[in-house]
Amino acid sequence: MQLLYVRYLANRPVDEIQCVAQTRRRHRCTSPLLTPETLAGFWTLVPITATHAQLPLHGAAMAVYALTGLPYAEQLRWWAQRCSEHAATPATADVAVVEWEPFDPLIHHQHIRTRLPTLTRRQGPADRSGRETQS
Ligand SMILES: [Zn+2]
């Protein structure tokens, strides 16, 4: 996840990231951050860079869910890990801490995907024998 120009590792899939605010019943809000009503980010490939030395590692790319195109307030909402409803009520207490972990390619290398998620779902067997004849 790329958010406010920083890369973070979430502890669950993007569409399952849950609001951390406390409900009136003192339970954790179960609303996801990403809903059909909210602005969505997009998957993109970015160079793998070390956190401190911003140098590309191996010239490789990895898939990130980028929120950089979203309005600043919307990125702040993700960073605060709140659903649309609780982002509008900042006074509401958080019942859980935000689950973002600053992404470090050396520590989190097992989470690196070098292909975009949609491109990994191939239909049928992969043809590695060569290019298909263009018709
Ligand atoms: Zn909420």
For residue 102, the CA-to-ligand 1 centroid distance in Å is: 23
Q: Determine the Cα–Cα distance for residues 21 and 94; give it in Å rounded to an integer.
A: 4
Q: What is the pLDDT of residues 40-67, one digit of tens each?
A: 999 999 988 765 555 556 678 999 999 9
- In the predicted model, residues of the chain with pLDDT beneath 70 are 50-58, 118-135
pLDDT of residue 130: 45
Dump strand ranges (E) for 2-103.
Answer: 2-3, 6-9, 42-49, 56-66, 101-102
pLDDT of residue 12: 93
pLDDT of residue 122: 45
Residues with a beta carbon under 5 angstroms from ion ligand 1:
19, 21, 29, 31, 83, 86
Question: Structural domain boundaries of the chain?
Answer: 2-116
Tokens of 135: 């018709």
Q: Determine the Cα–Cα distance for residues 108 and 41; give it in Å rounded to an integer.
A: 22
For residue 100, the CA-to-ligand 1 centroid distance in Å is: 16
For residue 24, the CA-to-ligand 1 centroid distance in Å is: 11
For residue 50, the CA-to-ligand 1 centroid distance in Å is: 33
For residue 28, the CA-to-ligand 1 centroid distance in Å is: 8
DSSP code for 23: P
For residue 89, the CA-to-ligand 1 centroid distance in Å is: 9
| Residue in 7, 87, 98, 95 with CA at minimum distance from that of residue 39 | 87
